[in-house]
Amino acid sequence: MENPETVKKEIEKLKKEIRGADYKYYVLSQPEISDKEYDVLLKHLKSFEEKYPQFLTPDSPTQRVSGGILEGFATVKHEIKMLSLDNTYSVEELKDWETKIKKMLKGNFQLHYVVEPKIDGVSCSLIYKSGMLTVGATRGDGEVGEDVTANIRTIKSIPLKLIGQNIPQLLEVRGEIYMDKKELEIINKVRLKNGEQLFANPRNAASGSLKLLSPSLVAKRNLNCLVHSFGLSRGAEFKTHRDFFEKVKNWGLRVNQHNKFCTNLDEAIDYCMKWEGKRDALSYEIDGMVIKVDDYKLRDILGTTMKSPRWAVAYKFPAHQATTVVEKIEFSVGRTGIITPVALLKPVECAGVTISRSTLHNFDEIKRLDVREKDTVLIERAGEVIPKIIKVISSMRPAHIKKIQVPKQCPVCRQPISKEKEEEVYWYCINANCPAKIKQSLLHFASRTCMDIEGMGESVIEELVNRGYVKSLADIYNLKKEDLLKLPLFAEKKAINLIAAIEKSKNRPLSRLFYGLGIRHIGEKAAALLTAKYNNINKFFTLKTGDLEKIPEMGPVMAESVVNFFFLRQTRKLINEFKNAGLNLQEEKRQIKTTVLTGKTFVFTGELESLSRDEARRLVESLGGKWSSSVSKSTDFIVVGKDPGSKYKIAKELHLTILNEDEFKRLIQEKA
């Protein structure tokens, strides 16, 4: 039998190791052991505690989840009132706020600030007695909150026991409980599968999760917490907010790594503007920034109103979400014939732009949302150009409004529609001569990444199709200057320029033509891969799916799509017309240099200023490199332009080599 004292020491040692690992992972963001090693430590500790229950303590890392279902939540009276912040929405309002507090201070004080992201989550109070977490509560009405201690104990970034030296006898801190955006996606996928109502946003999900009566379910929601404010303490003093952050961090509490000390308001404003532009790069939602007076003595002088502290203010970003009314639901037809429902919205300001329409993707999405004309809806524009409808506010639905039905015919050509496969979500117009399909196909074919026919935009294509001059892609090459001059859009010079652009497009590489054909599932990269392998378009008429599946990155769906396209009689007719018009139907074997970049994979995100995305990709290919549209551990370089998307965030998490546009150009020039 093992010596009890030895066992007790071993248990304490394991708890200390696990707490240290939690501190390095959650507070310092510098994990030193793998998840597997962490699980082994936890399992080892649990086996000891099961064998020697007399040494099991409430602060043990194994005791995060209590057993059973809670009957409800008791109330907790906050010893120090939990106030909410006043909001500002402009630089002028921030300056007005500073003017007011300077007047109140009267003396010649130099105001310093701490600025941090304002997380869109749920406010909480954490109380530690002798270093042990004893109470976790919601803000409630500011005076009385709900005791959600059992649920808060499940959150791994909240220590059950503080670590370090000089821990106060009593410490109350305030923080924000939140859910990462990625976690919300996972939960909503499960809820969608189970037919449950989706969470509208991470804050909604965090709030709902914290109110669950089963701590074991809360634990599965992977909530997180960041401490942002001081409540009260006995046994510790804080002179400044920076001092508070430093001390609580050393005690194991997690603070936001993006907080910044600013020596004046201009610096604070610059920091707010910086984050307004890159808020989507964070793994969690923020709806603004919080500016706080750093000096606690000055805070005492400024005091509070009934509702808010005078020494802090929130600068709110333009909302990512807004409510509006669906005025009408229309159906658009794409180049492949897919019929897409589109909601026309009562114009509303959202994320700094006016939103008046939103795609509904497909009829299954309409059914899931149960969205109808005249419904009030919640829309979101988070990191996307196209807004989406998150949910219908059914309590505001007018009486007797009808459900949206799948149309029986194409909304443009009035011909029948169908699904290619019963299990598919998309409905198609099956009329090859549908004007909407032709217009969208022409727009794609003439676009910059395909045949790059400058001057052939949407309005020109609209006129050409409506007047019957162009009924297929090949008809572009039969246009004469005299035809264009009959259109109201054209004068002599414009007509000459467009004819010249059409003529110039005949010499584009086969890969660009192939992409321009608009074959389903075949994007720009797949077109380049296919034409590099089969450099004459006539070869595609004899290929089988097995031939194409041998090409790396070419799956069975893509292979079948290509084979089916070239099996069609109208495809052979189209290619013959291209041949007669003098288009290039062969891909020249490009001379690719062997350099140190050979085989290296590049990913581009954001807008490049001095060259197009297409030009950048071709530069990479000319040096033997590859490009990809998605980020993974095998990505060698990620090139970041203006307003990068989520790829940039993923690249940082994976510790990939990140280049700005100038660094990319220097790299290419050095290796060329």
Active site residue ranges: 118
Pairing of the two strands 312-316 and 286-293:
antiparallel
User: DSSP alpha helices (H): ranges in 290-412?
Assistant: 296-302, 363-369
Dihedral class, residue 351 (left if φ above 0, else alpha if ψ from -120 to 50, else beta): left
Q: Which of 564, 474, 484 is nearest to 519 (CA)?
A: 564
Q: Which residues pair with 260 in a beta bridge?
A: 115
Helix, strand or coil for residue 417?
strand
H or E element at residue 51: helix 35-51
- Give just the sign of the alpha carbon dihedral 313, 315, 320, 323: positive
**Residue 266: φ, ψ to 5°:** -60, -40
CB 227 within 8 A of CB 254: yes
What does the alpha-carbon distance between residue 516 and residue 112 come to, in Å, rounded to a whole number? 58
H or E element at residue 379: strand 376-380
Dihedral class, residue 494 (left if φ above 0, else alpha if ψ from -120 to 50, else beta): alpha
> Exposure string (b/e) for 388-404, b if CB count within 10 Å is 16 or more?
bbbbbeeeeeeeeeeeb
Distance (Å) of CA 524 to CA 447, 451, 515, 613, 669:
12, 12, 6, 12, 25
Which residue type occupies 459?
Answer: S
What does the alpha-carbon distance between residue 579 and residue 573 come to, in Å, rounded to a whole number? 10
**Residue 653: φ, ψ to 5°:** -65, -35
What does the alpha-carbon distance between residue 29 and residue 662 come to, in Å, rounded to a whole number? 30
**Residue 291: φ, ψ to 5°:** -110, 125
CB atoms closer than 10 angstroms to residue 185:
10
What does the alpha-carbon distance between residue 431 and residue 425 come to, in Å, rounded to a whole number? 19
CB 101 within 8 A of CB 311: yes
What does the alpha-carbon distance between residue 233 and residue 308 come to, in Å, rounded to a whole number? 21
The terminus-to-terminus CA distance of the chain in angstroms comes to 71
Which residue type occupies 605?
Answer: T
Place of tokens 């909150």: 145
H or E element at residue 125: strand 122-129
511, two tokens: 């890969």
CB 584 within 8 A of CB 509: yes
* Long-range contacts (CB closer than 8 Å, 24 or more residues apart) made by 416-420: 417/339
